[in-house]
Chain A
Amino acid sequence: MSGFFDLPSDLQHSYLGLVGLHLREALVPVLAGLLVSLPIAQLCVRFRWIYPPVLGITTVLYAIPSLAFFVVLIDYFGQSETTVMVPLALYSLVVLVPAIVDGVRSVPPETLAAAQAMGFGPVRRYLQVQLPIAVPAIIAGLRVATVSSISLVSVGMLIGNQGALGNMLYDAQAYERPALAVNSVLTIAVLGVLADGALVLVRVLLTPWMPRKGAGR
C-alpha cells in the first residue's frame, strides 16, 4: 500500500516537486500580471477617460473560460506551462489594475502638491511618492490575485498533466485513490494560506509607516 505522499509515476514528480511546480505556475503569472498592470494603471491615472474601458476589457478577459484560452493558445505554445500561465496572468489584471489605480489615487492631494512644490518631476514623484504610498493597496490586490491563481492552476490538468497539484485529481479518479484528491485539495489550500500570509508579512515589512491596529498615538 502506498503512503499519503507517494504519487503515481505518471505524475512525473515527487510530492515536493509538484508543490514547486504548482507555485511556479501560479506565481509567475501574478508577477507578469503585476508588471503589465503597473504601466496600464499609470495610464489610467494619467488619462482618466481610459480607466472605464480598461476595466471593461479586464472584466471581459476574466469572463472567458480558461478552456477557451487553452484551445487558442495550444496552437502557439502546445500543451505547455505557458499555455496555462497566459490566461492566469490575464485573469490577475482584473484585480491588480483597479488595486493599483485606487492605491495611486489614494495619495492625498496636498502630498502631491507638496511634492510638486519641492521640485519632484513626474517620474520621481511616481517612484518615490505615489508608488510607495500605493503599496498597501497593491499588496491587497496581490493577495487576491495570488490565492486565486494558486487555485486556478489546477485546470491545467485539462490539457494533460499541466495542472501541477491539480493532476492528482485526475489520478485519484483513474487509480481509485481518493486520498490523492484529498491530498491535492489540502495542499492547494495550505499553499494559498501560506502565500497569503507571506504577502501580509511583506506588507508589514514594507510599510512601517502604516498606523498599527491598537497602537494609537
Chain B
Amino acid sequence: MPAELPEHSRSRLFPQQARIGRTRRARGVLIRIDSVTKRYPDGTVAVDRLSLEIPDRSVTVLVGPSGCGKTTTLRMINRMVEPSEGSILLDGQDIRQQPVNTLRRSMGYVIQNAGLFQHRTILDNIATVPRLLGRPKREARARAAELMERVGLDAALAKRYPYQLSGGQQQRVGVARALAADPPVLLMDEPFSAVDPVVRKGLQDELLRIQDELGKTIVFVTHDIDEAIKLGTKVAVLRTGGRLAQFAPPAELLSAPADAFVEDFLGADRGIRRLSFFPAAGLELQTAPVVPIDADAGRLASGAAAPYLLVTDADGRPLGWSEPDRLTAGAVDRERLLDFGRPFVPDTDSLRTALDGAVLSPTGWAVAVDGEGRAVGVVSQQVIGEAIRDAHGRVAARADAKAGR
C-alpha cells in the first residue's frame, strides 16, 4: 500500500494527466450527442444544434452561464427532457430504443442539494436503485454499506435520516446512491454548488479519487469554470442560447481559448491557472543555501555566496530564512528567522504551487520539501520563470508538430 501512495497522490494533484493516460486505454466515445435542439412550446431555444462526443471513462464537464442549456443537455441524456430535433446515441444505440426507466436505472444521477428521500434512512436511500432493479433487500443494503465506505461516510450514519446530516454528507450520500447499481454513466447536475468552498473542495477531490478507482463516464454540469478545469478531462463551454463555444481539454482551453466569449468566461488569471498543468518536478533545486540549525561556521560560510540561507531543524524541516551574516554558528535565534511561506513538493505539485511559494516567501525563493516535510532544496523566482517559459515552449512545439502532421 505505501508504495502506491505517491502514484495515488500524483493522480490526485494532476488528475488531468492521470486521466489522459486512462483515456488512451479506453475505447472512444460512449455518448454521442448528434445536432440536438431543444425548443420549448413558447419558442425559447434551450439547446441549439449541439453536437458532442463524450469519451468513455472520463469526466466531461458542461460549463457556461445560466441559460446556456447545460442542465437541459444533461437531462436529455437520461430523457428527463426529450430533444425537439437530433438524436443521442449511447454506445452506438439511440437512447429511445430502450424503455425510459431501464435507461434511467443504467445512469447514476446526482443533483444539487442531493435530493435525498427524507423519509428513508441513509442506507435505504443508497439502496434505492438496486431495490428498483429487484435485488433482495439484504443484498442491496450490503452494497449500500460498501458504497458508504467508498464515498467516505462513517458507517454509523447508516441508520440516520437525511435531516441529521450536513450538506456535504448529504451530497456524499447522493454520489453513493448514484453509484449503487454500478452504472457505466454518471450524470451530475451542479452537485457541489450548494455547499461551502472548503466542503466543495473535499467533495471534488473525493470525486476524482473515486473516478480513479471506478473509471465511470461522467457528465458533469457546473457554472464554475474553476470546478470545470479541476475535474474535466474535456470541457465543453456553452454560451447563452445553447450553442457550443469550445470543446477541449482544460489545458488547451486555458492556452488557446476559441474566442472572446470563452476567454472572458475563463477569467483574468488563466495564465497563472494554466501553470497547474505543468509539473514542478523538473525544477533545478539548489541545496547549498539549506543549512541545519546546528551548522558549524565552515558550513555557514560555504553557503554564504547565496543571498539568503534556509535554516532547518535537526530533522531537516525548514524553520526560516536568514541573511548569511546574521547567523552565528551554534547560536541561531529561531525567533529572528524570516517566514519561509508555503513549501511545495516537487514530485506531486505543479509550477503554480511552486510559483505561489516563491511569491509568498519574503526572500523570493520557494522551499521544496519531500513527502515528510524535510527541505530538499530551494528555487528562485527566476528559475521558476525560466521553467514556465520552457514549458510553454514545449507545448507550442507539440502544437506545431501536430499542426505540421
Report A's interface with B, CB cutoff 8 A.
108, 110-121, 129, 132-133, 135, 207-211, 217
Contact = CB atoms under 8 A, between A and B. Distances in A.
A120 B80 contact: no
Nearest to A129: B117
Contact of B105 (A108, A113, A119, A217): A119
Interface string B112-141: 111111111100000011001000000000
A113 B116 CA distance: 10
A216 B117 CA distance: 19
Given A116-B80, A117-B78, A217 B164 contact: yes
Contacts of A132: 119
Contact-residue size bin, chain B (C-beta under 8 Å from the other chain): 20 to 34
B187 interface: yes
A35 to B, nearest CB: 22
Given A108-B113, A114-B109, A217-B164, A209 B78 contact: no
B384 to A, nearest CB: 45
Interface of B: 78, 80, 100-105, 107, 109, 111-121, 128-129, 132, 161-166, 174, 177, 187
Contacts of B129: 118-119
Contacts of B117: 111, 114-115, 129, 133
A133 B177 CA distance: 19
Given A114-B114, A114-B116, A117-B78, 6 more contacts: A111-B117, A112-B115, A117-B109, A118-B177, A210-B163, A217-B164
A113 B164 CA distance: 22
Contacts of A113: 80, 111, 115
A112 B101 CA distance: 14
B132 A119 contact: yes
Contacts of B103: 119
Contacts of A210: 163
A116 B187 CA distance: 13
Contacts of A217: 163-166
Nearest to B118: A209
Contacts of A121: 101
A22 B114 CA distance: 48
A119 B183 CA distance: 13
Contacts of A115: 117
A117 B116 contact: no
B101 A119 contact: yes
Contact of B80 (A110, A117, A129, A211): A117
Nearest to A216: B164
Contacts of B105: 118-119
A110 B132 contact: no
B164 A120 contact: no
A112 B174 CA distance: 14
